[in-house]
Structures are given as structure tokens and as C-alpha cells.
Amino acid sequence: MSEHLQIEWLGALRYGDALERQLAALAERRRGGPDRLLLLEHPSVITLGRSARPEHLRSAPAVLAARGVELFEVARGGDVTWHGPGQLVGYLIVDLAARGTPDVSAWLRRIEAALIEALGALDVAARRIPGLTGVFLAGGGRPRKIASIGVGLRGWISWHGFALNATPDLAGFDDIVPCGLSDVAMTSVAEALGVAPTQALFERTRGAVAAAFERSLA
């Protein structure tokens, strides 16, 4: 583990509990604590970022609640997204000013680059698309999005982060227009590789992501 970035695996955690963990890590970073990458999974939850539009939520809140899908409005950039089992979520509590790079756009590109590197280690060719935030599979045709990114800032300390679709049931995205992009299809590591969505693949994805961010933020 890098001395510059503390990476923690939190397992399966409800969104509200993870939010509390982020806020605690953010407060500790302000007191001189470490930069952190919190890796975890969420039970099914839909989050609405600052740019979310009501029409991008396809199912009524009461319908979602009846199915056990939580709904949160959150202080991050971006539109609406879904989190659920099999999706690797990473919350980055990083002091950008202390790293000499207080630039949100550059920070988003750095997150994308680390995810693209991690996917490459899994034999999944990925890219970014100019003008959009997130990571997409390489190739032509309809864009296929494999990772979503949305960050918030407290001072110049970044929080929130990314969600990489490792082995989820992609039907979870049916309740929303993911990230407000109606012309984009959501995909996963398992789907890109044409293999079963196993726990072993999820753990390989987690390891590749941790290694890529450790290198990126060393």
C-alpha cells in the first residue's frame, strides 16, 4: 500500500452509512490525515447529483421504495446513477491543493486514466470520450459506458468518486437515464469479456483498480 494513499475495502455498505464514512474521512484529511480510496459495494440505490433532471428518473420514488431501492440527493457533480451489488464503488478523499493540482477537470481526467489502466489489466479496452465524463469501451457504434464518475469538493478536498460496473445485474439501470445520457448503453467488465459475473471476477477488478490508483496517486 502506498504511503501516500490509504486504500480500504469496506465490503457491502448502505449508501447512508458510506456517506458517513466519507464525511469522517474528509474531516480527518482536514486535520492532516491521509488521502484515502474507500472501495465498497452498495445495496441497490439511486443517487441524484447536482445536475439531475426529474425526467431522468424513470420509476416513481414510491415504486422504488416498494422494491427496496433507496433514493438519495447528493452533493456531487453529474446527473442520476444507480449503484448495486457487483458494482465497484470508489470514494476518493484526496486533497487536491496539497498535491498541487487544484483543478477539477484535471482531477476527473486522472480518475478516468486510472480506471482505463485498471480495465486494460483485465483485458478490457476502454477510452474516454471528449466532452463526456466517465469511461467507455473502446470501439465504434453506440457508446457503451462501463464507469461513471461524479465528485464533490469541500475546499479543495475531493470526495465522492467513481462506480465501475464489474459484475452487476445491468437491469438496475432500467429505472433511470444513466447520467442523463439516453444514447449510451451501460455495460460491465463481465459483459465486455463475455464471461459469467462471478465473485472471482469482481475481486480481480477490485485488485486491478486498487493497483492502478496506488500507482496514479503515489
Largest CA distance in the chain: 48
Reported as a single tens digit per residue, the pLDDT across 142-188 is 999 999 999 999 999 999 999 999 999 999 999 999 878 888 999 99
pLDDT at 1: 34
Enzyme catalytic residues? 179
Residue 104 CA to residue 77 CA, distance in Å, equals: 11
Residues (pLDDT < 50) of the chain are 1-3
pTM, two decimals, is: 0.93
pLDDT at 141: 87
Superfamily of structural domain 5-216: Bira Bifunctional Protein; Domain 2 (3.30.930.10)
**Residue type (1 letter), 109:** R
Q: What is the dihedral of CA 146, 92, 80, 201, to 10 degrees?
A: 30
